Amino acid sequence: MFKKLFAIICTVSLLGACASKQQGADLYGNASGGWKDDVNIADLQPTSTTEDFADEVNAVVYFAFDSAVLNDEAKEYLTEQATWLKDNPRALIVIEGRCDERGTREYNLALGERRANAAASYLIAKGITKNRIKTISYGAEKPVVSGSTEEAYAKNRNATTVAY
């Protein structure tokens, strides 16, 4: 009797753990494998896919001052991301464009958008379907690093890919 009860408890625990490891397509995606039309990026919550992606690839690409041009290192990281996304076809991504604090709010939002779009275009060219990608620009609004040094500025000039 005790063995049966223990087996049932273990099975229920295992099923519960599996059920909580939903991926982005389960939570935010539509039947065609892309983002739902009504998804609000601000409402997204990390999933197990978010953690897996961050653990397995370089999720951040950096840009030169006042530029949205991908350098060789950025292309290498994005190629790595594309490979991971092909291996995980249910994963959906958001690419967040950022800038350092120099420049006007409007200029930085536009530059952050160009950076996010540059990364998205590269992934699309590598075979990732456009409906799996959303982009957003934070401009200088959500810096990765606080401060007004060249080092802080360099870290904030980026496009960060987050998987769901």
CB 23 within 8 A of CB 85: no
**pTM for the predicted model, two decimal places:** 0.84
Q: Which domains does the chain have, with CATH numbers?
A: 22-163 (3.30.1330.60)
What is each CA distance from 123 to 25, 75, 116, in whole angstroms?
Answer: 18, 9, 11
CB 95 within 8 A of CB 133: yes
Average pLDDT on 78-97 reads 98
Average pLDDT on 146-154 reads 96
CB 71 within 8 A of CB 55: no
Residue 65 has pLDDT above 90, yes or no: yes
Q: What is the mean pLDDT of the chain?
A: 89
**Range of weakest confidence among 29-43, 61-75, 102-116:** 29-43
What tens digit of pLDDT does each residue of 32-64 get?
899 999 999 999 999 999 999 999 999 999 999
pLDDT at 139: 98
Residue 1 has pLDDT above 90, yes or no: no
